[in-house]
């Protein structure tokens, strides 16, 4: 399996996984052979690239949650069905716990639309993994997952023209976006009027997910451990997924660069303890990435080493596999697109 940039897609290439359109309908199934019209359609939807199977390929990325659960969560978020989201957040915890490996080792494939919802599911997944890594118990993990899935629910109260504006926001528009944690809290409180109490940790995490460790965040500008632990976890997951995702106003950053950003900002924006756990589970060089090695050779990331994610096995263009965990004098210089 390798990642192929949209400009290098060719008819006859075999898709490694299902591709969805902007209404979460399957556009193409895994194992489909691409035709030029499929490629045109995929590019039109805003995909930057896809995973392709090569002949003789055996390595497949682990999938932490099923497509079915992911799509159900996206649809329930779209409908603002908070009860269903709370239920699905628990399902996500169960699926992640049943997964063979907790390593996130794929590139965040995304199209333009629906990113708020797709992003919320990604943030949930990352938050649950960090929570497991931090040793949270099941009941806590479920609440963390619920808060993470609903963290941006307040965005539905921000005018869509501001949310989707492709140009730079005015000061007033930015101030409006910054109100979404407050709107999210308000949504949850309104929901409680139906008689179902929402645990205060969830409300607190949704309200505080943009607070920074050093007090430079919003809405309150609180610092350090005054910020709820769940909010500190969701903040890390949120920023990482936003950096590696594509938006109408920016390209996606590659995972290795995004990881550098996270580390550079730990103790400033982020809780160091959370970032330290995060880096143990997210591969900076996802499977299938095209990489340039310090030897000048190019290859594709073939397998990740769970204990040492920055040193994967790389399949060179001549077919040889080099294990960077053993060849310590060779490093990855950059991810090629």
Least separation in angstroms between residue 238's CB and Fe ion is: 6
Least separation in angstroms between residue 210's CB and Fe ion is: 6
For residues 42 and 44, give the distance between their C-alpha atoms in angstroms, rounded to a whole number: 5
Measured from the CB atom, the residue of 47 and 115 that comes closer to Fe ion is 115
Least separation in angstroms between residue 215's CB and Fe ion is: 18
Measured from the CB atom, the residue of 17 and 108 that comes closer to Fe ion is 108
What b/e readout covers 189-205, taking b as 16+ CB neighbours within 10 angstroms?
Answer: eebeeeeeebeebbbbb
Report DSSP letters for 194-254, one per residue: TTPPPPHHHHHHHHHTT--TTS-SSSS---GGGS-HHHHHHHHHHHHHHHHS-BTTBPPPP
Least separation in angstroms between residue 334's CB and Fe ion is: 30
Report DSSP letters for 254-321, one per residue: PHHHHHHHHHHTBTTTB-HHHHHHHHHHB-SS-TT-EEEETTS-EEEEEE--TT-TTS-EEEETTS-E
Least separation in angstroms between residue 182's CB and Fe ion is: 11
Measured from the CB atom, the residue of 142 and 152 that comes closer to Fe ion is 152
Measured from the CB atom, the residue of 181 and 255 that comes closer to Fe ion is 181
Rounded to the nearest angstrom, the gap between the alpha carbon of residue 197 and the centroid of all alpha carbons in its chain is: 29
Point out which residues bind Fe ion (CB under 5 A).
152
In the bound state, the residue with its beta carbon closest to Fe ion is 152
Measured from the CB atom, the residue of 203 and 311 that comes closer to Fe ion is 203
């Amino acid at each position: 399996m390798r990642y192929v940039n949209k400009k290098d897609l060719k008819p006859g290439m075999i898709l490694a996984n299902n591709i969805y359109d902007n209404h979460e309908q399957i556009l193409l199934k895994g194992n489909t052979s691409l035709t030029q019209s499929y490629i045109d359609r995929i590019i039109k939807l805003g995909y930057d690239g896809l995973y392709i199977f090569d002949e003789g390929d055996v390595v497949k990325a682990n999938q932490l949650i099923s497509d079915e659960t992911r799509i159900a969560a996206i649809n329930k978020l779209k409908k603002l069905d908070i009860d269903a989201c709370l239920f699905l957040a628990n399902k996500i915890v169960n699926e992640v716990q049943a997964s063979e490996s907790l390593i996130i080792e794929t590139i965040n494939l995304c199209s333009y639309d629906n990113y708020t919802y797709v992003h919320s599911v990604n943030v949930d997944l990352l938050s649950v993994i960090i929570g497991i890594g931090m040793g949270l118990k099941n009941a806590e993990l479920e609440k963390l997952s619920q808060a993470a899935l609903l963290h941006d629910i307040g965005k539905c109260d921000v005018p869509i023209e501001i949310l989707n504006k492709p140009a730079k926001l005015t000061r007033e528009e930015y101030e409006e976006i910054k109100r979404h944690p407050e709107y999210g809290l308000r949504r949850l409180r309104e929901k409680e009027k139906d008689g179902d109490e929402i645990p205060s940790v969830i409300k607190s995490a949704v309200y505080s997910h943009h607070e920074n460790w050093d007090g430079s965040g919003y809405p309150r500008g609180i610092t350090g451990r005054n910020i709820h632990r769940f909010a500190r976890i969701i903040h890390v997951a949120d920023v990482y997924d936003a950096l590696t995702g594509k938006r109408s106003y920016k390209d996606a950053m590659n995972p290795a660069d995004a990881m550098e950003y996270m580390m550079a900002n730990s103790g400033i924006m982020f809780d160091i303890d959370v970032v330290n756990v995060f880096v143990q589970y997210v591969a900076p060089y996802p499977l299938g990435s095209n990489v340039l090695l310090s030897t000048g050779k190019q290859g594709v990331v073939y397998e990740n080493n769970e204990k040492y994610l920055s040193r994967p096995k790389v399949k060179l263009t001549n077919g040889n596999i080099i294990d960077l965990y053993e060849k310590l004098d060779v490093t990855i210089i950059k991810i090629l697109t």
